[in-house]
Amino acid sequence: MSLLEILGKRLVLGVGTLLFVSVLVFLGTEILPGDVANAILGQGATPELIAQVRERLGLNEPLHIRYIVWLTNFLTGDFGTSLANGADIGTEISRRASNTIILAVCTALIAVPLSVLLGLAAAVKPGGLLDRIITSTSLALISFPDFLVAVVLVTIFAIKLRWLPAIASIRPSYDLVDWIRILILPVMGLTFTILAHMVRMTRSAVLSVLSSPAIEMAILKGVPRRRLLLRHALPNALGPIINVVALNLAYLISGVVVIETLFNFPGLGRYMVEAVTNRDVPIVQTCAMIFCTFYVLLNMTADILSIMANPRVRYKK
């Protein structure tokens, strides 16, 4: 099977997945308890005002018509306006998405190289002291939820030591040093959350390759351990490593909700939480679709990179 055929199949599967997700997002927000018109006008609204708002928002249209209109608007970049304050959703998302991307990119630049390095270090001597330390530490980090990690970091570095701010608020007057100070704790929280999975997968993938007959033959020939790891084991273990890295990067885009909320960081995650609190359905739908789109795209990218790293999976046995 050629690479173009694989790309075509992955693309069709990704588009189908996004269409299915769009149906779930739309239906999930539609079945929320309460009425949007009542939420906008408040409890003292008259039936006439509620009817006018429902007519203006198109809530009296059939469900499938509203879904088609909503999906068409989303695909054309028309995200609508906020039900809470009438602000343009696209403008606000553009501003907040840049903050979330900065947070995710900073975390990825630290977490990905560090996880590969620690995974390789643990695989150098399985069962050794360094391997036991890295494995036990990563297992402990996996057991801790992200909000607990963030609370511990705030308690130590913001409250006890007073080195860093506990609130990651952003102002136009901030320079590079201010940005670094407010990003350190959120980036640390996200890094500790995703680091353990990537370290353990890197270690497992490298050890699996090291147990193959070809590597065992190289060991018998006296090839140095470091050369085995970097030139033979790591390239052949890239497939599963790329997959777990992509999954964790997808989490950085869609799973920053907790971290952004705890640190009051003005990103997409916090924007979505505020919209859920205010029952601002258009914002919830738009943010959910953006998160799902990034997740599907990163998974497709991981599949394609895994195939390119290991061409054997293109062919059926």
Domain ranges for the chain, please list them. Answer: 3-75, 93-314
Total-model pTM = 0.81
Per-residue pLDDT of the chain (317 residues; tens, 9 = 90+): 666 777 788 888 888 999 999 999 888 887 766 666 666 666 666 777 777 777 776 777 788 888 998 899 888 988 888 877 778 899 989 888 888 888 888 998 999 899 989 988 888 888 888 989 998 988 888 888 888 888 899 899 988 988 888 887 777 777 888 888 888 999 998 888 888 888 988 888 888 887 788 777 877 787 777 777 777 777 777 777 887 888 788 777 766 888 888 888 888 888 988 888 877 888 988 998 998 888 888 888 877 777 776 666 555 55
Burial of 77 (0-12, 13-18, 19+ CB in 10 A): exposed
C-alpha–C-alpha distance, residues 239 and 244, integer Å = 9
Q: Is 131 within 8 Å of 125 (Cβ atoms)?
A: yes
C-alpha–C-alpha distance, residues 140 and 262, integer Å = 22
pLDDT score, position 33: 64
pLDDT score, position 218: 79
pLDDT score, position 310: 64
**Which structure tokens are listed for 232?**
């033979």
pLDDT score, position 148: 87
pLDDT score, position 206: 83
CATH architecture of 93-314: Orthogonal Bundle (1.10)
**Which structure tokens are listed for 90?**
């696209």
C-alpha–C-alpha distance, residues 66 and 283, integer Å = 16
pLDDT score, position 170: 78
C-alpha–C-alpha distance, residues 288 and 25, integer Å = 7
Q: Is 299 within 8 Å of 17 (Cβ atoms)?
A: no
Which of these, 118, 99, 119, 115, lies nearest to 168 by C-alpha position?
A: 99
* DSSP reduced 3-state for 48: helix
